[in-house]
Chain A
């Protein structure tokens, strides 16, 4: 497995990627758009983009992923895609009748410079229906940037200030996480009794129940009315600065809704921070139910510490996921010695520090010497591991090649997970999510210990 990868660190200066740890903007935009109720994402580019994105999202969620395409031909590429988009808008509403159509661009339509707002204005959009867009050039950032751009477009197009005094409502911007995570974030907020608007919200869309009939627009998703009202909320909580802060900050500028950016609430510290932020802003007591959950989590952390303390870990994935995961691993006494993301730099336009700086600060404070890199690839991660082996690998499905090559226990986390099921339904966020992570991590380590144990060392009780 990956036998051509040498141990000696290769000198890499071309800027090319070998075994990438990111993909392109449009898939993130498509996923975000599915988090609007009765919305059909539309890919303005060649058919292949839409086909690949639907394929990948479908394999991760194992649920229908509906989206349309402008089906560019060479003619459209030369003369502009306006005619194709206008035809697509007319056909989509006549045949598929969504409430909203969310257009995102591709490297093709960005390179030729199609002016999407003008094309939309010239299109036949039925009364009461809406078409909006986000520019998502594939040659900038990553799928996370695309998710962020589409989420931001929800604000620029729809959010309004309609009341003088802000509502006692919080905007929750969950970032590129699974429907199960969005559900859990909403549940936590519900237990605290705080009204919220979550956008995007793919719960109930990409984890829709089996009923015996296909609903092209399932019950889930944020509504346009809610998106409009988001301008009246008292606070926006952006979870994950790469995927969510741009939308929150835009809303702050547009409608004066104060924005705070927190880590995706994975692990005890990030969940505490989320709960404390809500408690502080809305002056509500943390309910006993949540305090008990937290207590259970700490109980589990203590009970299992000897399975995991001091173990070395390599973590890769999207920056908003890797950051709180590294924080949680440190809370568990583990040593994340290789930390990598494919997404480049800081969040676009946010002016915030880069991923590498943040990670190094956290790891140095914990006294862990680590390799940290953003805008990197899994070939690099593999070479690091060959030179400095680890006890555990955490990342998306693509990590399985390295895990097999180096015979390392592997915990699947993030996007995409193409070879296991159920993950998108169950949370990794919140106190419950942290319990699940411990179950996954300690299970992987103990399974390995069992597998490798000599008969005389094979233990019943562990």
Chain B
């Protein structure tokens, strides 16, 4: 059931005129006859609209830094920001020595009124000293919250002085919540500093094993990264580091030694992949380990990149075995899911990634979009030169890297690179829009009003989004699947992850609980009677 422009206009027509004008640029009805449909993205959310978006701090500390398990992450600010990012994202991690793992800890300077008035630098320095004394960590991050920038605390200087005192890296991140327009700003702030100060901060020059790779933009939610790594290791890859799922400070320092960078979440990290190519000559490959075909294709593309016969053969062997293992189970679940229709509105990559997995279960995605993506995530990297910098993106410091003359190494000859680019997404991503069906809807920064209206019009069978809209949708009698936290299940990535996802989605459809919504007394009249010859009995 495709949507027409007039139906879309009817929805938007009920909004105040300024809002309508703004929102109409963030929504498109896919029209396959138009090759370059434009969508506005990464611009300010309208105050009062009820958005799902978060802030720069959430993107920096919550998403990118939080999963680095062997560092202590101090949040400089009032207590809430650190509290809400404590164990809420399900980024799993384990360390060989369990006392090196701080994932279940939460550190805050707990700024009080006097710190706001007189400045919080001393308290931050004292908190760093205390944490070093108690825990003796390898490295520390400090993330700023809104008031820190406003009162002018110089956290960079405090961090620098603490580095000198303690002889460990103390990295400061100016990720105040008001910066940029969404979490995306925080991803940039976090990743740029990791790129600048951690990656390559090691004397190691070479990975110990061949086929060394980094996985960028994989956050190990529900153990996703572990399921991906299981297969990659078996095929013969050496994983140098993951940014940043089950991530490690120690491993991240070695990231320059890899021969290929995989990019799972294009939104949060594509710029780092570009920088790694500029600095070290390491190309990147867009992968998608969500869905069976996407996983198999990503593995094949990796093998093509290395062009090694043994690797190519092993890749096919593993794919064949994994498929044989999971396909019968997927087929069972497909019987339950086939013919259903989904909304898929998540983050900056998953809104695209999950569509393939849905399709493998026979579920068509009729509406998709991202919470905090940029135009290139919708329209592909070809639009990058066309994206204008606005005042909100200007306040995110840009990092310009140059070729590392000692470490730069050409991994592919230009001819081979060009030949490969024709076949595999080497240093390229074509975006979400191209995969959408004619008449389907693409929405950027979906809000509550539109959620209700699109559901009313398109009547999806399942709604894939987050926690804030989950119960809204379920109250309507429609199953809602959290694709940020996986409803505390997972992994959903890779081959076994696909089965988990199929099981969970099928469970949402098959649950008998939906049958009880209407009470029996609403189905039968209070008084029942038969018409007899002599009248009503």
Contact residues of A with B, CB < 8 Å? Answer: 1-4, 6, 10, 12-20, 22-24, 26-27, 42, 45-49, 51-56, 58-59, 62-77, 84-85, 87-92, 94-96, 106-108, 111-112, 137-140, 142-143, 208, 210-215, 342, 379, 398, 401, 418
Number of interface residues of B (CB under 8 A): 89
| B526 interface hit (Cβ, 8 Å) | no
Extra 8 A-B pairs, beta carbons < 8 Å, given A46-B177, A69-B47, A91-B46: A15-B109, A17-B79, A48-B55, A49-B55, A51-B55, A89-B48, A107-B145, A107-B147
Interface contact B147-A213, CB-CB below 8 Å: no
Interface contact B472-A16, CB-CB below 8 Å: no
| Contact code string B87-118 (vs A, CB < 8 Å = 1, else 0) | 01000000000111110111111111101100
Interface contact B127-A23, CB-CB below 8 Å: no
- Given known pairs A14-B130, A20-B79, A47-B53, the reply for A87 and B46 (CB within 8 Å) is yes
| B271 interface hit (Cβ, 8 Å) | no
Q: For residue A22, which residue of chain B has the nearest CB?
A: B79
Interface contact B150-A74, CB-CB below 8 Å: no
Shortest CB distance A345–B (Å): 11
Interface contact A96-B452, CB-CB below 8 Å: no
- Given known pairs A46-B178, A52-B84, A71-B47, the reply for A95 and B449 (CB within 8 Å) is yes
Which B residues, 176 to 208, have Cβ-Cβ distances below 8 Å to chain A?
176-183
- Given known pairs A55-B468, A58-B470, the reply for A140 and B150 (CB within 8 Å) is no
Interface contact B44-A16, CB-CB below 8 Å: no
Contact residues of B with A, CB < 8 Å? Answer: 15-16, 19, 44-58, 74, 77-86, 88, 98-102, 104-113, 115-116, 123, 126-127, 129-131, 133-135, 145-147, 149-151, 176-183, 391-392, 395, 448-449, 452, 466-468, 470-477, 517-518
Return the 5 tightest CB-CB contacts between A and B, nearest first: A48-B55, A24-B80, A88-B48, A16-B127, A46-B177
Shortest CB distance A8–B (Å): 10
Interface contact A73-B468, CB-CB below 8 Å: no
Interface contact B79-A51, CB-CB below 8 Å: no
Interface contact A92-B178, CB-CB below 8 Å: no
8 Å CB contact of A20 from B106, B183, B448, B473 = B106
Interface contact B79-A55, CB-CB below 8 Å: no
Interface contact A139-B115, CB-CB below 8 Å: yes
- Given known pairs A51-B52, A139-B111, the reply for A111 and B116 (CB within 8 Å) is yes
Q: For residue A342, which residue of chain B has the nearest CB?
A: B79
Question: 18 A-B contacts, Cβ less than 8 Å apart?
Answer: A2-B104, A15-B112, A16-B131, A19-B105, A24-B78, A26-B80, A46-B55, A51-B58, A53-B84, A64-B475, A90-B16, A91-B46, A94-B15, A107-B116, A111-B150, A139-B113, A212-B477, A214-B452
Q: For residue B182, which residue of chain A has the nearest CB?
A: A47
Interface contact A14-B123, CB-CB below 8 Å: yes
Q: How far is the CA of A379 from the CA of B109 in the complex (A)?
A: 14
Shortest CB distance B302–A (Å): 35
Residues of A contacting B47 in the complex (Cβ-Cβ under 8 angstroms): 68-71, 84-85, 87-88, 91
Residues of A contacting B517 in the complex (Cβ-Cβ under 8 angstroms): 210-212
Q: For residue B136, which residue of chain A has the nearest CB?
A: A4
Shortest CB distance A201–B (Å): 20
8 Å CB contact of B102 from A4, A64, A107 = A4
Give the one of A46, A48, A62 with max B CB within 10 A.
A48
Interface contact B116-A16, CB-CB below 8 Å: no
- Given known pairs A3-B99, A52-B58, the reply for A137 and B468 (CB within 8 Å) is no
Residues of B contacting A59 in the complex (Cβ-Cβ under 8 angstroms): 88, 467
Q: For residue B59, which residue of chain A has the nearest CB?
A: A48
Residues of A contacting B452 in the complex (Cβ-Cβ under 8 angstroms): 214
